[in-house]
Amino acid sequence: MSHVDTEVRPSNFIRNIIDEDLSSGKHSQVHTRFPPEPNGFLHIGHAKSICLNFGIAKDYQGQCNLRFDDTNPEKEDINYVKSIQEDVRWLGFQWSGDIRYSSNYFDQLHQYAVELITKGLAYVCFLTGEQTREYRGTLKEPGKNSPYRDTSPEENLALFEKMRKGDFKEGECALRAKIDMASPFMCMRDPVIYRIRFAHHHQTGDKWCIYPMYDFTHCISDAIENITHSICTLEFQDNRRLYDWVLDHLDDFQAPNRTRQYEFSRLNLEYTLMSKRKLNDLVTRQLVDGWDDPRMPTIAGLRRRGYTPASIREFCQRIGVTKQENLIEVGMLDACIREELNEHAPRAMAVLRPVKVVIENYPNAQPEQIIAPAHPNNEAMGTRELFFGRELFIDVEDFKEEANKHFKRLVLGKEVRLRNAYIIKAERCDKDADGNVTTVYCTYDADTLGKNPADGRKVKGVIHWVEASTAKPAEFRLYDRLFTNENPAAFETVDEVINPQSLVIVNGLVEPSLVSAEAEKAYQFEREGYFCADNKDSSAEHLVFNLTVPLRDTFS
State yes or no: 46 annotated in a binding site. yes
**Active-site residue, from 149, 266, 353, 419:** 266
With contact defined as beta carbons under 8 Å apart, do 482 and 270 qualify?
A: no
State yes or no: 451 annotated in a binding site. no
* Ordered DSSP codes for 219-249: HHHHHHTT-SEEEEEGGGTTTHHHHHHHHHT
State yes or no: 178 annotated in a binding site. no
* Ordered DSSP codes for 90-109: HTT---SSSPEEGGGGHHHH
Continuous H helices in 354-460: none
With contact defined as beta carbons under 8 Å apart, do 514 and 470 qualify?
A: no
Going by C-beta distance under 8 Å and a sequence separation of 6 or more, which residues neighbour residue 16? Answer: none
State yes or no: 233 annotated in a binding site. yes
**Active-site residue, from 276, 295, 390, 417:** 276
With contact defined as beta carbons under 8 Å apart, do 106 and 212 qualify?
A: yes
Q: Between β-strands 347-348 and 350-351, what pairing exists: parallel, antiparallel or unpaired?
A: unpaired
Q: CA–CA separation, 393 vs 386, rounded Å?
A: 13
Q: CA–CA separation, 264 vs 219, rounded Å?
A: 17
Catalytic residue flag (residue 276)? yes
State yes or no: 45 annotated in a binding site. yes
State yes or no: 274 annotated in a binding site. yes
Going by C-beta distance under 8 Å and a sequence separation of 6 or more, which residues neighbour residue 345? Answer: 375, 522, 523, 524, 530
Angle at 279 between CA 57 and CA 64, to 5 degrees: 10
State yes or no: 266 annotated in a binding site. yes
State yes or no: 214 annotated in a binding site. yes
Q: CA–CA separation, 257 vs 254, rounded Å?
A: 9
State yes or no: 48 annotated in a binding site. yes
Q: Between β-strands 466-467 and 350-351, what pairing exists: parallel, antiparallel or unpaired?
A: unpaired
Catalytic residue flag (residue 266)? yes
State yes or no: 26 annotated in a binding site. no
Burial class (CB in 10 A: 0-12, 13-18, 19+), 544: buried
Q: CA–CA separation, 100 vs 412, rounded Å?
A: 68
In residues, how long is the chain?
Answer: 556
Residue 422 to residues 220, 310, 353, 368, 428: CA-CA distances in angstroms?
A: 71, 38, 21, 12, 18
Q: What is the distance of C-alpha 161 from the center of its chain?
A: 42
**Active-site residue, from 37, 86, 115, 486:** 37
With contact defined as beta carbons under 8 Å apart, do 247 and 109 qualify?
A: no
State yes or no: 276 annotated in a binding site. yes
State yes or no: 65 annotated in a binding site. no
State yes or no: 293 annotated in a binding site. no
Q: CA–CA separation, 536 vs 288, rounded Å?
A: 15
Residue 3 to residues 15, 23, 432, 508: CA-CA distances in angstroms?
A: 12, 10, 73, 55
Q: CA–CA separation, 265 vs 86, rounded Å?
A: 25
State yes or no: 49 annotated in a binding site. yes
Residue 131 to residues 172, 212, 539: CA-CA distances in angstroms?
A: 12, 21, 58
State yes or no: 44 annotated in a binding site. yes
With contact defined as beta carbons under 8 Å apart, do 304 and 534 qualify?
A: yes
State yes or no: 38 annotated in a binding site. yes
Name the β-bridge partners of 268: 327
Which amino acids are annotated catalytic? Answer: 37, 266, 276
Show binding-site residues: 37-39, 43-49, 69, 214, 233, 266-267, 274-276
**Would you list which residues are annotated within the binding site for L-glutamine?**
69, 214
Residue positions forming the annotated binding site for ATP: 37-39, 43-49, 233, 266-267, 274-276
